[in-house]
Amino acid sequence: MRLLLIEDDEELCDAVALHLRKEGYETDICHSGGDADYYITGFVYDAVILDRMLPEVDGLTLLQKIRKKGIVTPVIMVTAMNGIYDRIDGLDCGADDYLAKPFAVEELQARIRALLRRPRVMENTAVLSYGDASLEPNTCTAICKDKSISLSKREGALFEYFLMNKEQILTREQILSRVWGAEDFVEDGNLDNYIYFLRRRLKALETELCIKTLHGIGYRLERRENAEINKK
């Protein structure tokens, strides 16, 4: 699981991040609203721990901004402002939980676990769409116009992850962690094979979508611009 911790108190941030990493969470940190916007929009996280009082862009404004972009990553807002209306403001702006300072790291960890147990919006329940293609997660069926094709469970999980993070760069590590899960060992070539398989499926569907390779970084699902769709 990958977390983003946003806290302007660098000493507190480092201490909390240390505890989270000991619990097995891959944890990125930043100390300002401006940097946080870059991380949240450029990378994929399972949850965000967001301080309300931040330099450059405050936590509430940042939260509203990312929700307007359609980013549904769960957010725990952490702040010393713990009045009833402060909590209401945070929740109304899109926070999933609210934790008052000072707090015990054990309580934060419990809230993270509770948040990650919740079913994700759209995940495994509804059709995911982007461009001219869609996926029915429950049946692993990819659809484009009047064409449909059945995917294997792994292909379906991979396509679902790309659709949930369309136009975002996904690193190899992120994809392996999310699609293959906590398996002890996954050969690196497995991902290459399944990217190849999924590209063939998209080509067979004659969709405008394509998976772009960013060498040394990862992959991105995007729409093929100003080019003819490959025909079967």
Q: Identify the structural domains of the chain with CATH numbers, from first to last.
A: 2-117 (3.40.50.2300), 128-223 (1.10.10.10)
Split at pLDDT 50, 70, 90, the class of 71 is: confident
pLDDT for res 122 = 42
Q: Which of 170, 161, 176, 230 is nearest to 199 (CA)?
A: 230
Is the separation of the CB atoms in 12 and 6 below 8 Å? Answer: no
pLDDT for res 216 = 86
Q: Which of 50, 165, 181, 58 is nearest to 111 (CA)?
A: 50
Helix (H) or strand (E) holding 98: strand 97-100
Q: Which of 160, 161, 121, 120 is nearest to 137 (CA)?
A: 160
State what percent of residues in the chain have pLDDT above 90: 46
Whole-model pTM: value is 0.57
Res 148 pLDDT > 80: yes
Q: Which of 1, 2, 7 is nearest to 77 (CA)?
A: 7
